[in-house]
Amino acid sequence: MCSSFVSYVVHQARRLPQTAHLRVRSHDLIGVARWDTPFVEGIIEAQKDNCRGNLMSRSKLGLPKHASNTTSFDRLSALLTVTVLMVAASPLSAQDAPSWQWPEAQWREAVDRVRAGDRLLPPEWPGGARVAVALSFDMDAETLLLRNSNTSPSRLSVGQYGPRAGVPRIVDLLERYDIPSTFFIPAVSAQIYADETRAVAAAGHEIGIHGWIHEHTSLLGRDDERMLMQRSLDAIEELSGRRPVGIRTGSWEYSHNTAELIAEQGLLYDSSLMADDVPYELVANGRPTGVVELPVEWILDDYPYFGMNRAADIRPYTPPSDVFEIWQREFDMAYAEGGLFLLTMHPQIIGHRSRISMLEELIQYMRTRPGVWFATHEDVARWAKEHGRD
Ligand SMILES: [Zn+2]
């Protein structure tokens, strides 16, 4: 990752005029940099995250703590000196050639690394239900900041809101409607909020793993990723009393090894990918893994509608009534087709008053329909695996 990222940086930098106004493309630095984060800021953060052991702090580079929007040539030169050194230490691979030069084998290998296999859509859900509804809550808490070494108390407080104010509301709501759900909890969050984690488990909800500290999975080496997966399973098992059977990767990121490692750990399911609306079997490097994928979607996530990043001027506030309409339409179609309706929510987002009341209205709406099966991700995955090929 380090070499391919740095080569991208060098590739871009070579094409730029000396005083270019640089921007980072979000998908290259997902979660590391923000949409309008200056180039320098982005590469420094990436170096910190990606290249452990090769940390280059801002001060070492002679860069200001907060780089201005316009990157000067001096700063760029310093940056390139570092990146060139790093590239020299990590030779470029064939992968770094422009994609239009890739031979067929290369683009086929890229798409075949992780693929959606057989659909696992049962003819009906338990009790003859038409649709399965799987509600999930990702209790990220402070780890969204901590993973990037951000220790700002004011920003961390936004994370604390989730377990402190949001989770009790969510657990209460689910109890009133007798609905089981799944919480995905990073191991560090679970340890900070041990009592809350135990309370979630005691209330009958499933807990799946969600990384160690919500790390960027796509940047991990195979051994590190395996070790963090195992540590996460151990930590959640110790707190909840039950070994998790499912995973949702932090920010839904995958490395080239993730699918194989999930199968290696013997997990029943993953819920991080988006190749369908209904469960399917994960295929890794052409081989069916036996792992059930319960697909997610940004449309079915609370973050894009309500999330806010003050520093990046991302303020996409959406009226809860609009989100209700979108999710209602998604549910209606899943009901009509006989499928799966899976929501990804976050206690620090959906737990606010104006939003939890919208979720309650949606639950009430779904309750008006006959044949709706509310279930944990584990129960959906088990049924899909057992009956999905009937
Ligand atoms: Zn998360």
The domain locations on the chain are 2-88, 113-387
Taking the centre of ligand 1 as the mean of its atom positions, its distance from the CA of residue 134, in whole angstroms, is 17
Give kind and range of the element (H or E) at residue 196.
helix 194-202
CATH 3.20.20.370 applies to domain 113-387: yes
Taking the centre of ligand 1 as the mean of its atom positions, its distance from the CA of residue 250, in whole angstroms, is 5
Taking the centre of ligand 1 as the mean of its atom positions, its distance from the CA of residue 66, in whole angstroms, is 26
Q: Extract the residue ranges of the chain whose pLDDT is less than 50.
A: 1-7, 9-92
CB 84 within 8 Å of CB 3: no
Q: What pLDDT is stored for residue 313 in this prediction?
A: 64
Taking the centre of ligand 1 as the mean of its atom positions, its distance from the CA of residue 350, in whole angstroms, is 13
Taking the centre of ligand 1 as the mean of its atom positions, its distance from the CA of residue 143, in whole angstroms, is 8
77: amino acid identity, one letter: S
Taking the centre of ligand 1 as the mean of its atom positions, its distance from the CA of residue 331, in whole angstroms, is 23
CB 6 within 8 Å of CB 87: yes
Q: How many residues in the chain?
A: 390
Contacts of 233 (CB under 8 A, 6+ apart): 209, 243, 244, 265
Taking the centre of ligand 1 as the mean of its atom positions, its distance from the CA of residue 385, in whole angstroms, is 25
Say what the pTM is: 0.78
CA 365 – CA 318 distance, rounded (Å): 20
Q: What pLDDT is stored for residue 24 in this prediction?
A: 35
Give kind and range of the element (H or E) at residue 227.
helix 222-240
Phi-psi sector, 377: left (phi>0), alpha (psi -120 to 50), beta: alpha
Q: What are phi and psi of 135, to 5 degrees?
A: -95, 130
Residue 211's CB: how many other CB atoms inside 10 A? Answer: 28
Phi-psi sector, 266: left (phi>0), alpha (psi -120 to 50), beta: left
Taking the centre of ligand 1 as the mean of its atom positions, its distance from the CA of residue 186, in whole angstroms, is 8
Residue 88's CB: how many other CB atoms inside 10 A? Answer: 10
Collapsing DSSP states into helix, strand and coil, what is residue 177? coil
Taking the centre of ligand 1 as the mean of its atom positions, its distance from the CA of residue 245, in whole angstroms, is 17
CB 195 within 8 Å of CB 202: no
The closest of 80, 82, 109, 111 to 93, measured between CA atoms, is: 109
Taking the centre of ligand 1 as the mean of its atom positions, its distance from the CA of residue 295, in whole angstroms, is 15
Taking the centre of ligand 1 as the mean of its atom positions, its distance from the CA of residue 84, in whole angstroms, is 33
Give kind and range of the element (H or E) at residue 229.
helix 222-240
CA 352 – CA 348 distance, rounded (Å): 7
Q: What pLDDT is stored for residue 68 in this prediction?
A: 40
Taking the centre of ligand 1 as the mean of its atom positions, its distance from the CA of residue 289, in whole angstroms, is 24
CA 69 – CA 39 distance, rounded (Å): 8
Q: What pLDDT is stored for residue 334 in this prediction?
A: 98
Read off the tokens for 388: 């999905």
